[in-house]
Structure formats: C-alpha cells, structure tokens
Amino acid sequence: MNGRAGAGPIRYHRGMQVLLDGEPISVQQPTIAAALVAAKREAERRRRVVIEATMDGAPLADSWLEHPPTDARPGAEVRFVSADPLSLVRVTYLELAEELGAAAREQTLAAQAMQQGRLDEAMPRVSAALGVWQSVREGVVNGATLLGIDPAAMRVRATPGEPERTVMEHIDALARALAELKRAIGDSDWPGVADALEYDLKEQADRWRAVMNALADEIGRRAASGA
C-alpha cells in the first residue's frame, strides 16, 4: 500500500507493516501479538470487530490468534479486516437459519434409514445434523455476547400462535431434545433415535429457523435505529 502524499509504504518497527481495513496502524512492537492488540483496539475505537487476519497474504493460524507469537517479524505485512458487529451477527443468524433447513433434511433421511435398519447410512447424517446444531448454539451465544445481549432477557416468538419466550428458554428446549437423542444413541435405542430425529428435532429445526430469522430481524431494527 502506498503512503499518503506520494510517500512510500508506511512501515513500523524495523519494517513490519500493519493495516486495518487497508489503513496503516501503529504498533508498539513488530510482533503478531502487538499487531493483534493494536488492531483490536483500533477496531473497538471504530465500534467494529476484527473478523480476518493475514500475514504476507496467508491467513493467520487459529493457534496464533489464540496464542499470538511474540517474536519479531521484520518485513512482515499483517492485514486485518473488520466488520460492523450488528451486520456480522445478523448475517450469521440468517446463514444459520439456512443451514437448519439442510439439517432438517438430514434428520429426515437419517430417521428413514434408521427405521429401515441402515445404520451405516443413518449415523453420518446424524453426525452432520448434530454439527449444525452445535453451530447454532455457539452462533447464538457468541453473537449475543458480541452484541452485549443477555439471552435470558431477549424474547422472540417462534410461531404465531405461541407466546414469546426468551432465547435462553429456546436454548434449554433444544438442549433437552439433543440430550434425548444422545441418550438413545448411547443406549443403541434405534427406534428412539428415529423418533427423536423425526419428531422432536424436526420441531426444533422448524422452531429455530423462526427464532434465527426473528433474531436477525431484531438486530436489523437495532442497526437501522443506530442502537
């Protein structure tokens, strides 16, 4: 990146270049750890969150993000990308709602295979569905944490004919359904597994699609109002 007023690239501390959304930022030391601190601090100042990090064009490893190296990296170019947290969480919730549609189909096919005794076909589908459910739970909780929302206080209505419930109540109901599925699997109760997939978790998939869309709509309203 070229510097301002026709100057050459702006570099800090023996050649390390650190940029946030294409703009150079200063760091205290030429290390990944210092670069992360500076990027997060500047993103927070802008009321944004860091969502991507690369060094010399390659994504930073997850282990580096969790435990950033403190050794000097002279000549490295470290780039960060940030996003508006409301927009980020809203898009995440909408994507999870779509994934739940795929999970519901996997559950139905798994239940059918289970009822016909085709366990080798059923269990991979069960694992795929469980992976989506884990992503839903983590996505809801992490998104709420990022936005400073208390899941026990935010209320949404899953279906038109029922009262509003807190997000935490919806999470608890999902946890009970998943616990029953895991119990049935652990006991090799294959009819019970099929029932849990075909009924309880199908209902949960329908419900959570509505919950995720309702949450996305609420976050969209907050973004529009500048909250």
Q: Last residue of some domain: 55, 83, 111?
A: 83
* 135 Cβ neighbours under 8 A, 6+ residues apart: 96, 99
Per-residue pLDDT at 1 exceeds 80? no
Residues 107 and 129 sit within 8 Å (Cβ to Cβ):
yes
Q: Last residue of some domain: 83, 103, 119?
A: 83
- pTM, to two decimals: 0.76
Structure tokens at 213: 């869309």
What's the pLDDT score for residue 140?
93
Residues 53 and 130 in one domain: no
Of the candidates 208, 189, 194, the one whose C-alpha atom is nearest the C-alpha of residue 134 is 208
Residues 161 and 78 in one domain: no
End-to-end CA distance of the chain: 34
Q: What is the mean pLDDT of the chain?
A: 89
Q: In this prediction, what percent of the chain has a pLDDT beyond 70?
A: 93
The number of distinct structural domains making up the chain is: 2
Q: To which residue do tokens 């919806």 refer?
A: 170
Of the candidates 134, 78, 79, the one whose C-alpha atom is nearest the C-alpha of residue 103 is 134
Residues 33 and 119 in one domain: no
Residues 146 and 181 in one domain: yes
For residues 174-188, average pLDDT: 95
